[in-house]
Amino acid sequence: MDAKRSLPKVARGGASAPPLSAPLAVTPIDARADRPAQRSGAASAASASAGHPDRNPGTALDLEIVHGLRVNRSAVERRAATLPARRTVKQAWQAAWLLRAITTIDLTTLAGDDTPGNVLRLCAKARRPVRPELLEALGVAHLGIRTGAVCVYHRYVATAVDALHGSGIPVAAVSTGFPAGLSPLRERLAEIRASVADGAVEIDTVITRAHVLRGEWEALYDEVRAMREACGDAHLKVILATGELATLSNVARASHVAMMAGADFIKTSTGKEGVNATLPFALVMCRAIRDYHERTGHLVGFKPAGGIRAAKTALDFLYVMKEELGDRWLRPDLFRIGASALLTDIERQLEHFVTGRYSAAHRHPMV
């Protein structure tokens, strides 16, 4: 491989990310607490060592804010259409941004035919998401690049926790009757507690869409608040299922209610809806996060998920984060991408940067 293709040296540590005209710093993932310790009640220590910001404590439900929200759909769609064309990165800068994208991936398997073997292979890929020779050629082998988390069904939380022991990679569990979220609330809360007991330090939950479609904001607030309490010290990601909420205004209102109820992240989709993560949804949710932060001072993360398979799409979402929320939201404690196939395309793009050739997809197996 041609050493001349190496990236410029990148900053280590906590400096803010550079502008789009300069290579993006790739910050190494900090060591996190051992997963077995979480099973004995040390999830708060694990979250702190994972570099998470202070948690969003939530606020009282403010219906005046919720009812006053309106979204100009045409303006949002116009902004979403022009942003990728106006913001692009090339060559070494693109490779650096793709490396950053890897560190934000919640590497996910949520298939009906999942097996312990699939989960073990996924965890191995999370530890080493890019072939070592590519990282050496890029000059970033010393950065310890890993994915942001591994995301699995509750059934496989313990398997993933054991497989990732000592790696510093947190395990996220999808709970609360994923993907429909129509199980009785007591069962959904019990599933959250069971996932936390098994070692999950992040919980991806789904809301009752009917609460949004019927304007039942008090019920949605109470539901998310109960999920937050069931999570204990584990971080709560609230999946809005944006493709099923009918309007962008509903997406904005649901985002605000979830944050008022204490969500640490708001997430677009389960990946099982007809429409999943899109730039218009991302814009609306990011502006809700910005408004909430300006009003309360609390930081809330954003996670697009569902249908994100191409490296270019991942870059588009990174552009949205930088443009709408700033450099602070380019780090894995406040930004995640829920995906599995995405990592394959990113690795192929990095190999093209190093060698000038695209490799076959079968050279980058996921499971």
Positions marked active-site? 204, 267, 303
Report the alpha-carbon distance of residue 146 to residue 129 in Å, rounded: 6
Asked if residue 57 lies in contact with residue 300, where contact means CB atoms within 8 angstroms, the answer is no
Task: Report strand pairing: 301-303 vs 337-339.
Answer: unpaired
